[in-house]
Amino acid sequence: MPTIDPHGGALVQLLVEGAAADALRDEARNLPRLVVSERELSDLELLAVGALSPLTGFQGEADYHSVLETMHLEDGLPWAIPVTLSVDEDGAHRLAGAEAVALTPAEGEEPLAVLRITEIFKRDRAKEAQAVFGTEDSAHPGVQAQQQAGDRCVAGSLEVLSLPPHDDFVEYRMTPAETRAEFDRRGWRTVVGFQTRNPIHRAHEYLQKCALEIVDGLLVHPLVGATKADDVPPDVRMRCYEALFAGYYPKDRAMVSVFPAAMRYAGPKEAIWHAICRKNYGCTHFIVGRDHAGVGDYYGTYDAQKIFERFEPGELGITPLMFEHSFWCNRCEGMASPKTCPHDEEERVSLSGTKVREMLRAGERPPQEFSRPEVADILIEAMRGN
């Protein structure tokens, strides 16, 4: 039994195999080529495996504006952030009149996919930045990435020859079809997904376990595509997750797999986008904490939770589980949140991100009420390496 239907009803699968792949590879040799940026390569991978179902390629102008204006595709299905393939003016001229283009990960590399071009349209940078990020400030990492991308977008459906190659986290790379099969094998009917780009401290462990109390299984789904330079590198984070899972998570109720997306730092819009992706991976529930996918102070603390109210009940399909920030309380003698603990601030063990980084850099473990010692040691070790 499937846990939940994919967004739009059917799981998209764009990988071409067998004789059809040979024919496509031959065709690709004679097509104009386009080098795809690291971020858009992540999107290509998500599209290929159906993580962005029902999309079957890079979006066209009508959907682009519809998503920016209404948070819905033209056909009415919820969608929060456009998925586009950028090209500069020169590239657009080069592709004018072409019916298809071969997409490569770098100059001189073999094509990964063929895009059947339906249109090339002009990006509305200001509108897109405001709608997705709520700002046009070039200090915002998402806006910055958008400004570096080309002025035009090439739209069309994709036929994929192979996924972008990865030599890391190989055993953790599961497609939506694979996570769905694994949930089924484990007999999970309800699964909560947890998006993360950070090491997991006690607070997030607590949210995950609170959520797990009401569902069958937990999918910790760390994002491993491009992030900003000062985020903790994915290999270090993965060692933290492994240590946590080895010591503190029940094997038959929790699993880790990686999410190959790039981080957009779009706060509320990205919370919706992340939830829809996790629905495609088979999650029935999704944890939304404070300032989900936020950066700096561009978004209000609860914006990423409140945005879910802008959809009709059942419209998204996946159920968001909203959480307050949590902490260890000495009086409660346990993890708690402002919802469940009546005590004063001084009873609560809470540290700022800056303070935690300072301690780790000094080779000092944060209190065990804040961070599991195994996780602290991995982070201390990683800081030493830098």
Residues at the site binding Zn ion, with contacts judged by CB under 5 A: 329, 331-332, 341, 343
Q: Using CA atoms, how far apart are residues 85 and 133, in angstroms rounded to an integer?
A: 18
Known catalytic membership, residue 330: no
Cβ at position 356, least distance to Zn ion in Å: 21
Q: Whose Cβ is closer to Zn ion: residue 319's or residue 326's?
A: 326
Q: Which of 125, 189, 198, 253 is catalytic?
A: 198
Do 232 and 199 meet the contact criterion of CB atoms below 8 Å apart? yes
Please identify which residue in the block is written with the tokens 């879910």. Answer: 308
Q: Whose Cβ is closer to Zn ion: residue 247's or residue 334's?
A: 334
Pairing of strands 254-256, 217-222: parallel
Q: Whose Cβ is closer to Zn ion: residue 144's or residue 337's?
A: 337
How many other CB atoms sit within 10 Å of the CB of residue 43?
23
Q: Whose Cβ is closer to Zn ion: residue 266's or residue 329's?
A: 329
Q: Using CA atoms, how far apart are residues 293 and 296, in angstroms rounded to an integer?
A: 10
Structure tokens at 106: 């770098």
Cβ at position 202, least distance to Zn ion in Å: 14
Cβ at position 350, least distance to Zn ion in Å: 12
Q: Using CA atoms, how far apart are residues 113 and 201, in angstroms rounded to an integer?
A: 39
Query: Of 70, 75, 38, 35, which Cα lies nearest the Cα of 55?
Result: 75
Cβ at position 341, least distance to Zn ion in Å: 3
Do 347 and 311 meet the contact criterion of CB atoms below 8 Å apart? no
Q: Whose Cβ is closer to Zn ion: residue 33's or residue 209's?
A: 209
Q: Which of 39, 180, 197, 239 is catalytic?
A: 197
Cβ at position 332, least distance to Zn ion in Å: 3
DSSP designation for 187: T
Q: Using CA atoms, how far apart are residues 88 and 63, in angstroms rounded to an integer?
A: 20
Active site residues: 197-198
